[in-house]
Amino acid sequence: MADWQINDAVGLFGATSLVGACLLPLLKQSAIPVRAYTRQAARPAEEGIEWQQLQSASSLQRYREGDSEIPLWICAAPIWVLPDYFDLLVSYGVRRIVVVSSTSRFTKNTSTDRHDQAVAHRLAQAEESVQQWAQCNQVEWIILRPTLIYGLNRDKNIAEIARFIRRFAFFPVFGQAQGLRQPLHVADLAKACLLALGTKGVTNRPYDISGGETLTYRAMVRRIFLRMDRTPRLITIPLWMFSAALYLLNRIPRYQNWSVGMAERMNQDMVFDNSDAIRDFGFSPRNFLISDKGMSDVGDNLSW
């Protein structure tokens, strides 16, 4: 932690989310007590972590009479969930909060898919709500907008591509699939949350957070094949055929969210400048699927 002295617990929304799963061990390593909130069933207390279940939108009251204040918070849950708990945050004396949003606010805004447009609108609306609430309550805020997130074999991006490859031994692409991507490992996003929380000069602004390497969509998929020790088999198909295939794929629960918009974005650049995050709080992302500390080479098991 760069500047901030943390003597009490940090509140964490979305403690069982992909980002939360990486944040908890980082907080424990830093000997920072955590009040971890999740909508799942409450877990037994463990060293350094106190679990709380969020069963409904909170009231003005704290969970237990006599609780100490929690001035620092991180929201790793979907940003549009946070407004339901503004009163809870105020009741705990929140003074500073880091919130995870997404660059999908921009990349899906012009999509031809209505679901994508709705996601972009929801993100933008939630960001505006967080900023207005924070200003009214004199709360310092930082919004992090990550690019394509992957890691822990739980993401809905790279892990889904890998599962498709494992199941069908090929991957379909639309056109040349030359749109640029910056895949971001979830562990690097978790570190960015802590760095932003702990740097006093970082306040009241959003940051775009991207991975350490820029590559085309086609190159990204090829690297997934190679990481799985498989020969890359990318099949280029026209959009009409992609749409027909989606009609069948959408009947499989795992692929219900695949859309024509996803195919169209294969040829669109989704590149964001993360130099402000590098400069302001020392953000340092890794390259995509390149073995280093924190990433294990296990081939087809995909535990990256």
CA 17 to chain CA mean position, Å: 9
H or E segment to which residue 23 belongs? helix 18-29
Number of domains in the chain: 1
Host domain of residue 282: 10-301
What backbone phi and psi angles, to 5 degrees, belong to 145?
A: -110, 95
> For residues 105 and 279, what is the distance between their CA atoms, to the nearest angstrom?
23
| Each residue's pLDDT expressed in tens, for the chain with a length of 304 residues | 444 555 568 999 999 999 999 999 999 998 889 999 988 876 777 888 989 888 655 444 555 555 788 999 999 999 999 999 999 999 999 999 999 999 999 998 888 778 889 999 999 999 999 999 999 999 999 999 999 999 988 888 899 899 999 999 999 898 899 999 999 999 999 999 999 999 988 999 999 999 999 999 999 999 999 999 999 999 998 877 877 777 777 777 777 777 777 788 899 999 999 999 999 999 999 999 854 333 333 233 333 4
> For residues 83 and 216, what is the distance between their CA atoms, to the nearest angstrom?
36
218-276: pLDDT as tens digits: 999 999 999 999 999 999 988 778 777 777 777 777 777 777 777 888 999 999 999 99
> For residues 276 and 182, what is the distance between their CA atoms, to the nearest angstrom?
16
CATH number at residue 143: 3.40.50.720
> For residues 59 and 147, what is the distance between their CA atoms, to the nearest angstrom?
33
Whether residue 5 is contained in a domain is answered as no
Whether residue 4 is contained in a domain is answered as no
Whether residue 77 is contained in a domain is answered as yes
Give the residue from 256, 258, 180, 240 showing the smallest Cα distance to 214. Answer: 180
Q: How many CB atoms lie within 10 A of CB 41?
A: 8
Which residue bears the tokens 């919004």? 143
Contact 212, 256 (CB under 8 A): no
